[in-house]
Structure 1
Amino acid sequence: QHKSDNEIMKLLNESKKLQKQKELALQQELQQLKESYSQNVLDTCSRIIFEIADKYQLDISLSKSAIQKLTQYNWSTDKLEKLIENAVTIAMAGNMDQNTKIEIQDVDIITESINKKHKTTIEHSDKILRTKVFLDRYEQAALMAIRDELPLTGNNIGKYCSPPVSPAAISDSLKNHRKTIIHLLQENPNQWKTIRSKFRPVKNILASTADKKKAS
């Protein structure tokens, strides 16, 4: 009987040991799955950030807190894209120096429904971002036209844009973004020097602003 009890205890101990091993293996498997998922999320985030950075000519990175927040939940790719796009525009809104280097913080990532205030901020910052993009494009095109000894007309500016745009498209952009252009030109006096001084449509925008100030 004593021997039988010892055998039973031995079996129980082995069973407990085996159970612990199974639990440990399961925990390791779950951890590996979690790490694998986190890596997949980070890979997706990196791709999205690269595309946005390339599109707007920005240097975008994620802070540690932002990474933790993004890898915390099971986001779809579409949701991740929306979260990061919104985070970039929110971060841009707080970028008072108009710096092209942006680090997304966890507070920039709004996981709940975007309220009206945040939505307004995002829309405003997005417009600034888009305006900066085409001002940079026109400035680069103007420099290329000058290099080739061509006058700075809408046709020549459009021809040197990448991709090329029509003079009408340039006029529409300047008209639709007039207020944002004025804001950017006033806030960044050392940027877009060529088009602000030599491209007539932009010069006219600045001149009309100066006239309004004098009149008031």
Structure 2
Amino acid sequence: MLKKKLKSFSFIYHPIEKLHGIIPTIMPGIEKMITVHYDGSENLIKGILTEKKKRNYTTKTLDLDLVLSSLTPFMEERNPYTWLNKQQIPFEIEEKSDKLVIDIFSELENIVLLVKIPDEYDQLKDLIFIYLNENPSNFGVTNTANPLTTDNKSIIAFLLYNTVKTFVELQNNDRELLKSANLRTRQIIASTESLKQDLERTKDNYGLSLVKLCQNYIQQWSTKNQKKYIMTAGALEKIKRYTGDLKKLEDIIEDTIVYVDNLYFGVHGEIEILEWNIQFDRATHRQVKVKGEDQKEDKYAKTIALLDKLEKAALNVKLKRLKLTGTNVGAACPTPISAPAISDALYNHRENINSLIITHPENWETIKREFRPVMNILKVS
């Protein structure tokens, strides 16, 4: 199936120019028509000829230099239309090589109807010369050789003038509507682009704020661990793209610090934090949600908090190369807790712990495999 080509609106071009494709279809058989109009886009007066040759019409541009002064009186007349005889016609068209020139005061054999339409600038009239046959054959009457009567001409001129005038007004009105619609569209596009840029700037600014926040967290860890942690350019870009909960960012950085400390165990000097060292999904794992109603989520919330706290403490104990005993893990908690208290808490949460370990096997790797108090309450698989 052939794809149809996109066409332009007819009113994009000057309406007088469009008449060259319309008048010959309204009155088939006319010998020719000439239009003279002011083109504001090019700031000049243009002449166009449409002439019948054999069975087809051809359209060409005219050179008006020699007759422009003779045309001016017609452009200034107030009468909307005029019938001109051959003595009143100021020119005829002769084709000389490839360029058409208008000669003054030549004889014409056809009756010519001159229709005058005010141009869109209301300065001069646009002229439309229609060369008709002397009989009514242009109007579908073929069985008479009688010439057009005065009444016939009055009716023809009245109808053609109003037809052309209505067409030109519609074209100009549609063109202005299109200009207005295009202006609004361009304004909407400009506003959208401006908003898009504002959003990008806001996003960049927010990303920079995230970077500064994380750098502050890392500085605190550098001071606490007496080490120098540095984020690479890739890590900084990843932080800038973070779209999760801002409250979880501190936990993400803490997990990252623990990870790189284990990764670079025994290495002295600066520790680089790479892009892949930072795992945003760890924040999601920290706040595991069990499918079901809100009551079920609340049921596991305290258990999850307990396991997270013990896991973090256990990682810190390992980092210090200490044994994973209840006493050491309890001392590494944000608020120190005794070993018996840990055992009691785990026992009270034993059912929830076993359920969470089954549904979320990727979490709490250290305490479920190496911390004896947790291992003791896990069901034997």
TM, length-normalised to structure 2: 0.31
Over the aligned positions, Cα root-mean-square deviation in angstroms equals 3.3
Separation in structure 2 between the aligned mates of residue 102 and residue 58 of structure 1, nearest angstrom: 8
Tell me the alpha carbon deviations over residues 129-186 of structure 1, each in whole angstroms, 9 at most, x when there is no partner.
4569xxxxxxxxxxxxxxxxxxxxxxxxxxxxxxxxxxxxxxx98xx99xxxxxxxxx
| Counterpart position of 1:59 | 228
Q: Which residue of 1 aligns with 2:98?
A: none
Matched residues, number: 134
In 1: Cα distance, 2:247 partner to 2:268 partner? 28
**Conserved in 2, the CA contact under 8 Å of 1:63 and 1:105?**
yes
CA contact (8 A) 1:90 1:108 kept: yes
Helix, strand or coil: the match of 1:110?
coil
Structure 2, unmatched stretches of 5+, are 1-169, 287-308, 333-381
Give the Cα–Cα distance (whole angstroms) in 2 for the partners of residues 126 and 95 of structure 1.
15
Q: Among 104, 108, 113, which residue is 2:273 paired with? A: 104
Structure 1 pair 120–68 and aligned structure 2 pair: CA distance change class (3 A): farther
CA shift for structure 1 position 93: 1.1
Quote the residue 1:78 is aligned against: 247
Change in Cα spacing, 1:101 to 1:121, as seen in structure 2 (3 Å) is farther
Structure 1 window deviating more from structure 2 (9-18 vs 100-109): it is 100-109
**Which residue number in structure 2 is paired with residue 2 of structure 1?**
171
Matching of residues 119-198 of structure 1 within 5 Å: 126-127=316-317, 129-130=319-320
TM-score normalised per structure 1: 0.52
Q: How far apart, in 1, do the equivalents of 2:239 and 2:188 lie?
A: 34
Q: Does 1:25 align with 2:228?
A: no
Is 2:204–2:240's contact at 8 Å kept on the other side of the alignment? Answer: no
* Rg (Cα) greater in structure: 2
d(CA) in 1 for partners of 2:246, 2:186: 42
Separation in 1, partners of 2:218, 2:192 = 38
Match among 261, 277, 290 for residue 92 of structure 1: 261
Point out which structure has higher relative CO (alpha carbons under 8 A, 6+ apart).
1
Contact 1:61–1:102, Cα closer than 8 Å, also in 2: yes
Residue identity over aligned pairs, in percent, reads 20
5+ long unaligned stretches in structure 1: 133-171, 178-216
Change (3 A) 1:107 1:122: farther
Give CA deviations for 1:100-147 in whole Å, capped at 9, x if unaligned: 411112222222227xxxx99976653354569xxxxxxxxxxxxxxx
Aligned to 2:183, what secondary structure does the other structure show?
helix
Aligned CA distance change for structure 1 residues 122 and 106 (closer, same or farther; 3 Å): farther
Contact 2:262/2:319, CA 8 A, preserved across alignment = no
* Aligned amino acid, residue 317 of structure 2: K
Q: Structure 1 residue 41 and structure 2 residue 231: aligned?
A: no
2: distance between equivalents of 1:91 and 1:46?
15
- 1:47 Cα deviation from its structure 2 partner: 1.0
Q: Tell me, what secondary structure is at the counterpart of 2:229? A: strand
